[in-house]
Chains A and B, each alone.
Chain A
């Protein structure tokens, strides 16, 4: 059956329209589509450097029995499950505190909370590394307070090194998420709060029953972006807990493993590409779950 000459159909064949978008399309093709397709093709190969062969699904099979990959995945998931909720809750609480109309020095406080996320990733990591070293500020302070007898091996211990990373990312990114919440809170109609106050609703209930439901789209947004950020976690573990020749196994993340496979180990770009696609799939799956959980129920 012949297509009906609708407006959109005519638009499809309009050369001028294509000319307008051709530059953008070309750039997208070269710098987005090509690398994606090429890396997928790459992930079907394995070998050493330029000596590669086609292995099909071989890299995926290898993933399942690779203890380092599983360790990196486990570490990344621990960071994700513990750090993201702590950070978002903290950001919500801070935002609602800083949103109080009668708060003094509001501008100053907001800037102070936001400030960490404009500092350089490497610079702040180096500061954290020195603060949490054996002879560092944190151990000295804890010893002075009489809380610890022996210095805590913050950067070497499997448990404490994860704690340091979680503290570091929380410090860096809480303010960033807070700004989103703050902006969204200012869009909530004040009359709702006024009505609630007149009805004698407590501050806690107002927060839970008015603020949070109204912030739902923004909370979803921050959850998804924080999930993506944590799954790609690299700078902090790399700069804070790396010692000697190899990345510490205690804080090895998927991104660090990709770096290892490409630059530290015998270069196996195919396998590294496969691990990157694991991150892509995880991001997609988790985002889908989060969208599903936050959907509007009628």
Chain B
């Protein structure tokens, strides 16, 4: 789900909210009754609301099991989990916890034995392959894949037409073509093509994964200096900065504000942005959706991923059996549940069967009557699987550190070398 928003939540209210909510969580999980499954997650409008719906469905069939869903800021969930696991005192841990996909391999590797293997309890073949791969370690699958961050390009068809392009021109394009269109759009309409924080590396991650590459290769070894996808991504980023085709913003609020105020003609990001795009009802019918642009490197596809998270069962949880059964019954089998959360929350789950449901084939008048969800589920099955490895955060930091230099004209080869050196020193 909503990836950038979570950071804003963290950086503003987290410190205050976290303390208050965190302590309540600690104290209440102590008093867990028999048969009460405790769950930690973030974002009341998305994950929490979806979990409440899932819990309602499960309790209807299994009245003996109750749920305690604790809402915390994302950073607090991560901190509490990390510190509690590191301390070795497990009795305050929940039964189920939400983990962002980028963090999953790191937790599995750093805290062996802390998470319960769900192999044999859940049929993981029913889920999108790339989600299952990142939670597999030593042949065992540890989580239950939840929402995807499948990416797409949302664009203002009215502005694109004004610039002299048709909807057909936007399908399955490259980033270079996207940039050309962007220049036209600015010349003809005076609007920028997209909004971006010049320090954010989200678009670089999208580009890299679209070519099936990451900071690390399949064996987890550093893959920087000879990584064509990362190189092309950095070059594209430099082109963005040099042509000034984007509106610079800082923070989630300004970024979404640029979309809703009509300052920009497109946004390329994870599917979780849908709700925010649709928040401006006056723009209904003006937006359309096309596939993510691809890089000019072999193997790059018009499908990628940004963000997304999954549910994990903790091995120390008292109710871990009930927790696993709950996840299996609802998240791995209940196709109707996925229709409900898609319609009410815009959540695209990674259960492949959910795509056959009714809600996925419905046309959305906001997007000019397009069957948006069908497109997303199609792209979801094409997202190349990559090995995030355990050092994604370190990789992001190393790339972000080079962006100011690149903007000032540093050669991309030099930046790649710096990224390699920084990462090599960090992953000891």
Interface residues of A (CB under 8 A from B): 46, 48-51, 62, 65-68, 71, 120-122, 126, 129, 133-135, 153, 155-158, 235, 238-239, 242-250, 260, 262-267, 269
Among the stretches B59-67, B249-257, B315-323, B352-360, the one at the interface with A is B249-257
* Interface-facing stretch out of B40-48, B105-113, B137-145, B378-386: B105-113
| B410 CB contacts on chain A under 8 angstroms | none
User: Cβ of A49: which chain B residues have Cβ within 8 Å of it?
Assistant: 82, 85-86, 107, 109-111
Binds A, one of B9-17, B23-31, B119-127, B285-293: B9-17
The 5 A-B residue pairs with the shortest CB-CB distance in the complex, in nearest-first order: A49-B110, A244-B200, A249-B401, A48-B110, A246-B397
The interface size of chain B toward A, counting residues with CB under 8 Å, comes to 47
Do A245 and B7 touch (CB < 8 A)?
Answer: yes
Binding site for A on B (CB under 8 A): 4, 7, 11-13, 15-16, 75, 78-79, 82, 85-86, 88, 106-107, 109-112, 197-202, 248-251, 254, 390-391, 393-394, 396-397, 400-401, 404, 418, 421-422, 425-428
A65 in contact with B254 given A157-B404, A244-B7 (CB within 8 Å): no
Tell whether A266 pairs with B106 under 8 Å between CB atoms, given A67-B425, A249-B400. yes
**Which A residues touch B391, using CB under 8 A?**
265-266
Q: Is the CB of B86 within 8 A of A239?
A: no
* Chain A residues positioned under 8 Å from B16 (CB to CB): 120, 122
A155 and B11 CA atoms in complex are apart in Å by 14
Q: State the majority secondary structure of interface residues on A.
A: mixed
Contact A133 B396 (CB under 8 A): no
Residue contact B393 to A243, C-beta cutoff 8 Å: no
Contact of A48 among B78, B109, B201 (CB under 8 A): B109
Evaluate contact between B82 and A243: CB separation under 8 angstroms: no
Q: How far is the CA of A71 from the CA of B397 in the complex (A)?
A: 12
Given the interface contacts A122-B15, A134-B249, does A248 sit within 8 Å of B199 by beta carbon? yes
Assuming A62-B428, A245-B393, A263-B78, is B86 touching A269 (CB within 8 A)? yes
User: Least Cβ distance of A96 to chain B in Å?
Assistant: 36
Q: Is the CB of A156 within 8 A of B197?
A: yes
Is A68 within 8 A of B86, CB to CB? no
- A66/B393 in contact, CB under 8 A: no
Set B79, B88, B251, B422: member contacting A50, Cβ < 8 A: B88
Q: Are A245 and B396 in contact (CB under 8 A)?
A: yes
| B198 & A156 in contact (Cβ 8 Å cutoff) | yes
When the two chains form their complex, are residues A262 and B426 in contact, meaning their CB atoms are under 8 A apart? no
CB distance B400 to A244 under 8 Å? yes
Provide the residues of chain B in CB contact with A129, threshold 8 Å.
250-251
Residue from A247, A248, A260, A267 within 8 A of B82 (CB atoms): A267
Once the chains are docked, how many angstroms separate the CA of A62 from the CA of B200? 28
Q: A244-B7, A244-B199 are in contact. Are A50 and B400 (CB under 8 A)?
A: no
Looking across the interface, which residue of chain B has its beta carbon closest to that of A49?
Answer: B110
How far, in Å, is A203 (CB) from chain B's closest CB? 44
Q: Would A66 and B7 count as touching, CB distance under 8 A?
A: no
**CB of B223 to closest CB in A, whole Å:** 17
Closest-CB distance, A124 to chain B (whole angstroms)? 12
Chain B residues with CB under 8 Å of A264's CB are: 393
Question: Contacts A122-B12, A153-B248, A244-B400: A262 and B82 contacting too (C-beta < 8 A)?
Answer: yes
B250 touches A263 (CB 8 A): no
Q: Is the CB of B202 within 8 A of A244?
A: yes
Interface centre among B197, B393, B426 (most CB of A within 10 A): B426
Residues of A within 8 A of B86 (CB): 49-50, 267, 269
